[in-house]
Amino acid sequence: MSVDTATVAKIAALARIKVSEAELAAMVPELNGILAWVEQLGEVDVTGVEPMTAVIANHLRLRDDVVTDGGVRDAVLANAPARQDGFFGVPKVIE
C-alpha cells in the first residue's frame, strides 16, 4: 500500500498537525519509503498467532474505589498557556 498527497493530508488532519503543501510533497515519498519497508511483515505466516497484548505476563490490578487525588486545582493549571477564573482558557467553540 502506498499513500498519495490527499491521503497524507487526511492523516495530518486526523493527527491535528497543520502541514503546508511543500511539507506534504516532501512527506509523501518519505512515508511511502517507510511503508514499503514495513510491508515485508506480510511475508510472515501468522496463522493461529495471537497479537501480543502484554509483553511480560502481569495481571491488571484494581485499586479500591476511593478518592485518592484532587484538590490541586492550582497545580493542574500551573502550566496552562491560558487560564482564567480557575479554568483552562480556549478559543470560543460555540458560535
Partner 1 sequence: MSGSANVLTELGVAAIRDGVVKGDFSAVEIADAFNANVAAATALNAYIVATPELAVEAAKATDARRAKGEPLGKMGGVPIGMKDLFATKGVQTTAASHILEGFKPEYESTVSQKLWDAGAGMLGKLNLDQFAMGSSNETSYFGNVISPWRRNDGGNAALAPGGSSGGSSTAVAARLAPAATGTDTGGSIRQPAAFTGISGIKPTYGRCSRWGIVAFASSLDQAGPMARDVRDCAIMLEAMAGFDPKDATSLNLPVPEWEAGLNADLKGKKVGIPREYRVDGLDADVAKSWDDGIAWLKDAGAEIVEISLPHTKYALPAYYIIAPAEASSNLARYDGVRYGLRDLPDGAGLQDMYAATRAAGFGAEVKRRILIGTYVLSAGFYDAYYTQAQKVRTLISQDFRNAFTQCDVILAPTAPTAAFGLGEKSDDPLAMYLNDVFAVPASLAGLPAMSVPAGLNREGLPLGLQLIGREFDEQGVLNAGLAIEARAGFSARPEQWW
Residues forming the site for partner 1 (CB under 8 A):
1, 3, 7-8, 11-19, 27, 30-31, 33-35, 37-42, 44, 46, 49-56, 58, 60-61, 63, 72, 75-76, 78-82, 88, 90-93
DSSP letter for each residue of 13-82: HHTT----HHHHHHHHHHHHHHHHHHGGGGGS--TTPPPPS-SS--PPP---SS------HHHHHTT-SS
> For residues 60 and 66, which CB has a smaller minimum distance to partner 1 in the complex?
60
Cβ 47 to partner 1 shortest distance, Å: 9
Minimum Å gap between C-beta 5 and partner 1 is 13
Least distance between partner 1 and beta carbon 7 (Å): 8
N-to-C CA span, the chain: 41
* 19, three cell numbers: 502541514
Name the minimum Å distance from CB 75 to partner 1. Answer: 4
